Amino acid sequence: MLAIEVALLTGRYVATAVDDRGRAEWPPHPARLFSALVAAYFEALDRSDDERAALEWLEQQGPPEITAPEAAAREVVTVFVPVNDTSVVGSLDDEALAVREARAELDAARPKGSKALAAAEKALAKAEARFNEAVRKAVAPVPTGKEGKDGPGKAASILPERRTRQPRTFPSSAPAEMGSAAPHIVFAWPNAAPSPELRATLDALAARVTRLGHSSSLVSVRVRDDRPEPTWIPDGAGQGRAGDEAVLRVVGPGQLTALCTAFELQADTPGRVLPASFQRYVRPRAAGEASAPAPRFSDEWIVLRRVAGPRLPSVRGLDVARTVRKAMMAAHGPGAPEILSGHRASGGPSERPHLAYVPLPFVGSEHADGAILGVALILPRDATRDERLAVYRALDAWEQQRRDGDEEPPRLPVHLGRTGELILERLEEQAFQSTLRPATWCAEATSWASATPVALDRNPGDLGARDPQKEAAAYAEAEATVAMACERIGLPRPARVTVAPAAPLAGAEKTRDFPPFQAGTPPLQRVLVHATLTFDAPVRGPILLGAGRYFGLGLFRPLRGDG
């Protein structure tokens, strides 16, 4: 076991959330702790090989458990601070403001329709291009003797009394004390087995760490011999409570090298990026609290978000899913494995779960319009290491084909014929839109509603029969088929299933608006129905039901509160 304790000497933690510059980060992300240890290592005049080896060992221990007190976010106040280099910052203010305004216009245009949205996207692209060009000119060195008439004035503006002041915010959290003079956070790796020498090396390195997050967030760090009960745990096997979760940045093998590479690339350019992976954390379950049943699909998602191209309704989801599948298989090359294709080597359909290509529609909120905001690549829960590697290698190969210079991540085109080209890119951070967050679809709940209709595994009869008895019998058969579909993916049988042609979620499309869907051998057209599910106890997502589940049909969203 290894545990590292961080004491907040000022009683607060100052760090900005990765997805919101106006919000404080809490709890502290494990990647920040690792970066602080790396910074302490590089600040030493005589760097120790043992310390580097300790860091390389630590990056391979996986996401830690975290023990952190509850914290209240302090009110964010805008302050005006002197600019260190006015010759750079001053020249970018107007362009940066234009980008912020263009983004605000884009958000305002979303509910207005495709025409206004297209104009707003075009304006944002132009504003970003102007900003990027201004950054390029600002950081380009000026040859000696060619400073120009503005050179002396810019030089004088760097003097303290002449510096301009820019608005800045410093979001911070004020945690409650936990029985010590200063609040503290503990990062623990319960399965780690460091040698006494390695533990001593890490302790010596930790003792040199002076801050975590912002430079005003002073800390004292040490290795401790025990670990308290965690308040946050990595959610990889369903051992935590869904619904109360956070997505934190963590590290993995190669993190030290990635930090060194990022430093070399960013040393002379504005902005900083912390290389890291994202891990979902949840509150641990109380003793004796049973885990909620989980389906055969996992919450290990690769999300490709839409960044350009037509704003498509969810009824085009099948076209998008099939085209993404085709692109992934083409990128892999001949002999695509069963996990990608969904077919055995003999050509028959797979008999075990495989990768699902699931378009994510904007549904379930007041302004939802059903548009596809991205595509999730969803692995089965029992996927082997080799199967996971095959998926990631295929995606990497697709990205390598589309890489343009230093573009990261590359933009991936999805060709949809006359409709145009949908442009996707791999999401590497927590999404702003809830639709693109796996936690939205993978929570625990007793009630669920379909975002896209279920393609029934068998024909229930005439749902539109004029004879009330035949109609009732058809609906009863459809509800029984949906219930069996739940059992087929590893969930308990629902206590109640309600089938209807109308969509139960705001923004979702009616079944009649979806194109016909065929499946099976020989291909048979499947009846499409919307449904709501009620279980006796909470179950976990993601819930994908029916014959079209591997292409995004039968995608359910949890209902919270009164639904």
Write the secondary structure of 430-487 as one string of H (helix), E (strand) and C (coil): CCCCHHHCHHHHCCEEEEEEECCCEECCCCCCCCCCCCHHHHHHHHHHHHHHHHHHHH
CB 378 within 8 A of CB 296: no
C-alpha closest to that of 213 among 4, 416, 447, 14: 14
pLDDT band per the 50, 70, 90 thresholds, residue 1: very high
Average pLDDT, stretch 41-61? 92
Report the pLDDT value the prediction gives residue 133, as an integer from 0 to 100: 79
pLDDT higher than threshold 60 for residue 90: no
pTM of the model: 0.59
Report the pLDDT value the prediction gives residue 70, as an integer from 0 to 100: 87
Question: Is it true that domain 297-436 has CATH number 3.30.70?
Answer: yes
pLDDT higher than threshold 70 for residue 273: no
pLDDT tens per residue, range 199-251? 999 999 999 999 998 888 999 999 999 999 999 998 754 454 544 667 788 98
Which tokens sit at 223?
């290795």
| Per-residue exposure over 65-89, b if at least 16 CB sit within 10 Å of its own CB, e if not | bbbbbebeeeeeeeeeeebeebbbb
Average pLDDT, stretch 73-90? 60
Report the pLDDT value the prediction gives residue 472, as an integer from 0 to 100: 94
Kindly state the percentage of the chain with pLDDT values over 70: 80
DSSP 142: P
pLDDT band per the 50, 70, 90 thresholds, residue 344: confident
pLDDT higher than threshold 90 for residue 78: no
490: left (phi over 0), alpha (psi -120 to 50) or beta: left
pLDDT band per the 50, 70, 90 thresholds, residue 157: low
pLDDT higher than threshold 50 for residue 563: no
pLDDT band per the 50, 70, 90 thresholds, residue 129: confident
Separation of CA 241 from chain center: 19
Query: What span, in angstroms and rounded, lies between the C-alpha atoms of 26 and 152?
Result: 45
Q: What's the chain's average pLDDT? A: 83
What single-letter amino acid sits at 302?
A: I
DSSP 158: T
Report the pLDDT value the prediction gives residue 195, as an integer from 0 to 100: 94
pLDDT higher than threshold 70 for residue 112: no
**Structure-model confidence comparison of residues 267 and 189, the more confident one:** 189
pLDDT band per the 50, 70, 90 thresholds, residue 389: confident
Extents of the domains making up the chain: 2-73+176-281, 80-168, 297-436, 441-558
pLDDT tens per residue, range 425-455? 988 766 678 899 888 898 889 999 999 999 9
